[in-house]
Amino acid sequence: MINKKFTDIAPWVNGEVVNLKDTNMEVKGVSTDTRTIQKGNLYIPIVGENFNGHDFVNVAVENGAVGALWQKNQPSPPEDVPLLYVEDTLLALQNLGKSYLETLPAKVVGITGSNGKTTTKDMVSSVLGTTYKVQKTVGNYNNHIGLPLTILQLEEDTEIAVLEMGMSGRGEIELLSTIATPEAAIITNIGESHLQDLGSREGISEAKLEITTGLKEKGTLVIHGDEPLLTEKVANSPFHIVTFGSTDKNDYFPVHIQQNNDGTFFTINGREDTELFIPVLGKHNINNALSAIAIAEMLNVTISNIKKGLERIKITAMRMELIQGADGVAVINDAYNASPTSMDYAIELVQDLKGYKKKIVVLGDMLELGDKEESFHYDVGKKIDPSKIDFVFTLGRLGSKIAEAAKFNFSESKVISTNDKATLITNLKEIVEDGDIVLVKGSRGMKLEEVVSALS
């Protein structure tokens, strides 16, 4: 993590030093949350819509902070706490992260996309970790606050930083890319998330391509080559373009795929003599693995180390996470988020799995889909195959549209729709038994992990 003198940090944030008695005082790490303050940290108070971190500077010091930033327009700065006066604490945090990164030898791999960002981050980190010292975005620290905080956690001898870049609207990935200045970037795919804000899949693709803003000269851009909204827009790109996908028009594509209940075996073009395995459910995750392989080979990781790295992947929780629940019930916890594309992937996975008595899907609302949200949910319900799925449970107003469409193919008793989570759990528990598998998937706001906990 960052370990610098308080006075050395000042020019990085364009700050004015006040109340400092010891000019040799060092900062060891930063925090924006008084609950996570460690001894020696610099506290960075963020001003939000419903909170003001400046109110807690004294608490931060009591918890171990050696000093803090202070936004100049905030009243009553403490007179006994070392401070750096800045125009804007958020901008100062971002500048601090960017400046610190520029002092490190670490190369940056940036990752964005509508689906699969976190899984791809985990895969890239695992594969590169066989050869380099790697650090990656922790949890969902992938926005305008989380990304600079992640950078400031990097050790000075880190060789590769794998940084996930999320967005809430247009311009955010441009900002993150400018802070991180990646050597290479991955765009996993273009889905439907953020249609509410960006209006169309084309708008989403443009927002995701903002990752090239900070991409270094002669950098590498790895994209889903089966997506024309990406391939057409990079046709005249100054960067080195590498494509992955399911078809043989791509630079990386699968030749053979075999899925079982523990993961997926596959081979890829040009390396058919090496069978690879990912301990992750879902054939769609092969695309994520292909992008990781492309980055690894760019950085001269051997195929034997790629194989090793893929086999030992540890995927972040609530993403196609297979859990052995109570009473012999298997649960796929994919409750972190949902979009029409990822929902289709998850349902297809369950339909393809073998060896279970009953297959049950629990599906919640998909959020931020704009004015076509109801039709997106309806389309999901139409695609569920009654010969491969035994029961469909839905939760929420939009989830009811999934149920409405599913009832055209299922008998009415096999489709249960409700707006009450407790009722859903009660009805579900009456049906599940030893040998069944249950998929639980919905947008983050639905908190469907509570259903998973009830079955565990």
pLDDT of residue 26: 96
Verify that 155 and 272 share a domain, yes or no: yes
Tens digit of each residue's pLDDT (9 = 90 or more) over 78-121? 999 999 999 999 999 999 999 999 999 999 999 999 888 999 99
Q: Where is 117: in which H helix or E strand?
A: helix 117-128
pLDDT of residue 337: 86
Verify that 195 and 51 share a domain, yes or no: no
E strand intervals along 345-433: 359-364, 391-395, 415-418
Q: Residues 272-279: what's their mean pLDDT? A: 95
The label of the residue with tokens 């469907």 reads 448
Tens digit of each residue's pLDDT (9 = 90 or more) over 376-399? 999 999 999 999 999 999 999 999
Verify that 205 and 125 share a domain, yes or no: yes
In this structure, is residue 94 part of a structural domain?
Answer: no
Verify that 338 and 427 share a domain, yes or no: yes
Verify that 263 and 206 share a domain, yes or no: yes
Tens digit of each residue's pLDDT (9 = 90 or more) over 46-67? 998 889 999 999 999 999 999 9
Residue 261 banded pLDDT, cuts 50, 70, 90:
confident
Enclosing domain of residue 166: 104-311
Percent of the chain at pLDDT > 90 equals: 83
pLDDT at residue 72 tops 90? yes
Answer for the pair 305, 271: CB distance below 8 angstroms, yes or no. Answer: no
Instruction: Please tell me whether residue 168 adopts helix, strand or coil conformation.
Output: coil
Verify that 137 and 235 share a domain, yes or no: yes
pLDDT of residue 262: 84
Instruction: Please tell me whether residue 331 adopts helix, strand or coil conformation.
Output: strand
Report which residue type is found at 87. E
Output the CA torsion 445→450→455→456 (10° steps): 120
Tens digit of each residue's pLDDT (9 = 90 or more) over 353-374? 999 999 999 999 999 888 889 9
In this structure, is residue 316 part of a structural domain?
Answer: no
User: What is d(CA 48, CA 137) in angstroms, rounded to the nearest whole number?
Assistant: 23
Inter-axis angle of helices 172-180 and 89-102, to 10 degrees?
A: 40
**CB-side exposure of 412: number of CA atoms within 13 Å?**
0
User: What is d(CA 248, CA 344) in angstroms, rounded to the nearest whole number?
Assistant: 23
pLDDT of residue 217: 92
Six token digits for residue 429: 């528990």
CATH number at residue 403: 3.90.190.20
pLDDT at residue 163 tops 80? yes
Verify that 335 and 273 share a domain, yes or no: no
**Phi, psi at 47, each rounded to 5°:** -100, 115
Q: Where is 453: in which H helix or E strand?
A: helix 449-455
Q: Helix, strand, coil proportions of the chain in percent (round to 5)?
A: 35, 20, 40
pLDDT at residue 198 tops 70? no
User: What is d(CA 344, CA 363) in angstroms, rounded to the nearest whole number?
Assistant: 11
Q: Residues 120-125: what's their mean pLDDT? A: 96
Instruction: Please tell me whether residue 401 adopts helix, strand or coil conformation.
Output: helix
Q: Residues 294-319: what's their mean pLDDT? A: 93
pLDDT of residue 456: 87
Cβ neighbours for 13, distance < 8 A, ≥ 6 positions apart: 69, 84, 86, 92, 95, 96
- pTM for this entry: 0.87
Verify that 24 and 119 share a domain, yes or no: no
CATH number at residue 258: 3.40.1190.10
Domain boundary among 256, 287, 311: 311
Domain boundary among 284, 311, 338: 311
User: What is d(CA 271, CA 280) in angstroms, rounded to the nearest whole number?
Assistant: 21
Q: What distances in angstroms separate CA 387 from CA 198, 353, 383, one per listed residue?
A: 37, 13, 12
pLDDT of residue 368: 84
Percent of the chain at pLDDT > 70 equals: 98
Verify that 237 and 301 share a domain, yes or no: yes
In this structure, is residue 427 part of a structural domain?
Answer: yes
In this structure, is residue 307 part of a structural domain?
Answer: yes
Q: Provide Rg for the chain, Cα atoms.
A: 24
Tens digit of each residue's pLDDT (9 = 90 or more) over 132-149? 999 999 888 999 999 999
Verify that 194 and 306 share a domain, yes or no: yes
Residue 392 gets the label, from left (phi > 0), alpha (psi -120 to 50) or beta, of: beta
Residue 313 banded pLDDT, cuts 50, 70, 90:
very high
pLDDT at residue 69 tops 80? yes
pLDDT at residue 18 tops 80? yes
pLDDT of residue 71: 97
In this structure, is residue 259 part of a structural domain?
Answer: yes
pLDDT at residue 194 tops 70? no
Verify that 381 and 446 share a domain, yes or no: yes
pLDDT of residue 182: 98
Q: In the chain, how many domains are there?
A: 3
CATH number at residue 34: 3.40.1390.10
DSSP states of 278-322: ESSS-TTHHHHHHHHHHHHHHTT--HHHHHHHHHT--PPTTSSEE
Answer for the pair 274, 309: CB distance below 8 angstroms, yes or no. Answer: no
Query: Looking at 10-19, 260-269, 311-320, which range is the least confident one?
Result: 311-320
Verify that 248 and 163 share a domain, yes or no: yes
In this structure, is residue 97 part of a structural domain?
Answer: no
pLDDT at residue 197 tops 80? no
Residue 56 gets the label, from left (phi > 0), alpha (psi -120 to 50) or beta, of: alpha
In this structure, is residue 95 part of a structural domain?
Answer: no
Mean pLDDT rounded to a whole number for the chain: 94
pLDDT of residue 191: 79
In this structure, is residue 99 part of a structural domain?
Answer: no
